[in-house]
Amino acid sequence: MCTPPSILIIYTGGTIGMKQNPQTGALSPFNFEQIEQEVPELQKFGYNLTTRSFDPLVDSSDIAPDIWVRLAAELRDSYHQHDGFVILHGTDTMSYTASALSFMLQGLAKPVVLTGSQLPIGMLRTDGKENLISAVEVAAAQRHGQPMVPEVSIFFQNRLYRGNRTTKHNAEHFNAFRSYNYPPLAEAGITIKYNHPYIHRPQRQQELCVHTRLDPSIAVLTLYPGLSPQHVHAVLTSPGLRALVLLTYGSGNSMSHSWFIDMLAEAIGQGLIVLNVSQCQAGSVNMDKYDTGLTLKKIGVVSGADITLEAAITKLMLLLGSDSEKDSIISALTKSLSGEITPPQTLQD
Ligand code: ASP
């Protein structure tokens, strides 16, 4: 008889693990170790479920790199005891955590599925039960004796996405997440249909290698009509700044005023890494398309291709933490580390 899959569920905090106090109506976290009492359907899988809870619980707006390090270390320490992992997380920064973990867990060969909910699991119309049950099913799913989705993913409202391609796009609807530049890895209807060609599966057995050094010395500068030289100067001269995500227009365009280009060129000359990420959520940066993009390319701005802001920020933190030289960081930025970008040569015009 084969042994049932063993799944570790880690509850970090967020709406999903809350219950309404019938007297006061207020929401507060329930004891997550008793999740199988709240969601008895979980027992029907017949899996070995282990649950752990963060203490204290963290609203995901308070997530910071040290919590990613803690989560990654917990996954590393439990890696060989379990077949799959489900992380319950607030939705607000779930895409950042999924992106960070996808870069930190190199050589991952088991599923790490993040999920959460818009309504607490203890409420009648909750989306949490559905999300949790499906996330557990995905974490346990196998194909030819191997994990079905050995990636960091997000399951939300019937869809499984590659985590580092997602963005929280809706604060009210149950379908809170989107992956604009990469198709869903699976869709849940009557059955869960996996989108096999888009799921990354390691070619050979790899060892998990957990990177826990992150350097958050970065800033994000959003372009908008009327952006002042004072503001740009303040950002570019902030102490310790090593990399800047420049949130540009359309296919990676910026204003062409010489004060702006000169300030940026000077900062790049002094060692700053500038990554061009589009304010558009769908589509890709292409700095060869317009003069305004070409100017950025000429001064050394690096194309972020079709990366999300969440993946750009966390990828930079990981690369800066790696002690690599500026040139190798730039080269890594233009390549896919964990499926977070479509490398420019494979993009269609
Ligand atoms: N503020 C909450 C959080 O992100 C919202 C949620 O759980 O979805 O932790």
Q: Domain check: are 119 and 247 in the same one?
A: no
Nearest atom in ligand 1 to the alpha carbon of residue 92 is: 4
Q: Domain check: are 41 and 129 in the same one?
A: yes
The dihedral through the CA atoms of 88, 94, 97, 102 has a sign that is positive
Nearest atom in ligand 1 to the alpha carbon of residue 91 is: 8
Q: Domain check: are 246 and 149 in the same one?
A: no
Choosing from 190, 210, 230, the residue where a domain stops is 210
- Output the pLDDT for position 210: 97
CB 134 within 8 A of CB 51: no
Q: Domain check: are 142 and 85 in the same one?
A: yes
pLDDT digits (tens, 9 = 90+) for 20-37: 777 777 777 777 777 878
CA of 231 to the centre of ligand 1 (A): 31
- Output the pLDDT for position 345: 63
Residues of the chain with pLDDT > 90, as a percent, come to 79
Q: Domain check: are 186 and 266 in the same one?
A: no
Beta-carbon contacts of residue 131 (< 8 Å; ≥ 6 apart): 16, 115, 116, 117, 155, 156, 157
Q: Domain check: are 136 and 21 in the same one?
A: yes
Q: Domain check: are 191 and 316 in the same one?
A: no
| Strand 273-278, strand 243-248: pairing | parallel
Given a cut of 90, whether residue 348 has pLDDT beyond it is no
Give the residue, 280 or 347, on which the prediction is more confident: 280
CB 73 within 8 A of CB 32: no
Span 292-306, average pLDDT: 93
- In this structure, the residues whose C-beta lies within 6 A of any atom of ligand 1 are 13-15, 59-61, 90-92, 116
Tell me which residues are annotated as active site: 15
pTM check: above 0.85: yes
State the residue range of the domain holding 316: 218-348
Is residue 1 assigned to a domain?
A: no
Q: Domain check: are 279 and 320 in the same one?
A: yes
Give which of 258, 242, 251, 249 is closest to 317, Cα–Cα.
242
Computed over every residue of the chain, the mean pLDDT equals: 93
Q: If pLDDT is split at 50, 70 and 90, which confidence band does 270 have?
A: very high
Given a cut of 80, whether residue 349 has pLDDT beyond it is no
| Strand 105-106, strand 209-210: pairing | antiparallel
Q: Domain check: are 152 and 64 in the same one?
A: yes
Span 41-46, average pLDDT: 91
What's the number of domains the chain is made of? 2
Q: Domain check: are 12 and 125 in the same one?
A: yes
Choosing from 178, 210, 242, the residue where a domain stops is 210
pLDDT digits (tens, 9 = 90+) for 71-108: 999 999 999 999 999 999 999 999 999 999 999 999 99
Q: Please tell me the total number of residues recorded for the chain in this structure.
A: 349
Span 136-145, average pLDDT: 95
- Output the pLDDT for position 347: 52
Choosing from 151, 185, 210, the residue where a domain stops is 210
CATH of the domain at 339: 3.40.50.40
Question: Can you name the residues that pair with 19 across neighbouring β-strands?
Answer: 28
CA of 271 to the centre of ligand 1 (A): 37
Q: What is the DSSP string of 173-197?
A: SS--EE-TTS--SEEESSSEEE-GG
Nearest atom in ligand 1 to the alpha carbon of residue 94 is: 4
Q: Domain check: are 32 and 129 in the same one?
A: yes
CA of 93 to the centre of ligand 1 (A): 8
Q: Domain check: are 168 and 249 in the same one?
A: no
| Residue burial 124-144, b: 16+ Cβ < 10 Å; e: rest | eebbbbbbbbbbbbbbbbeee
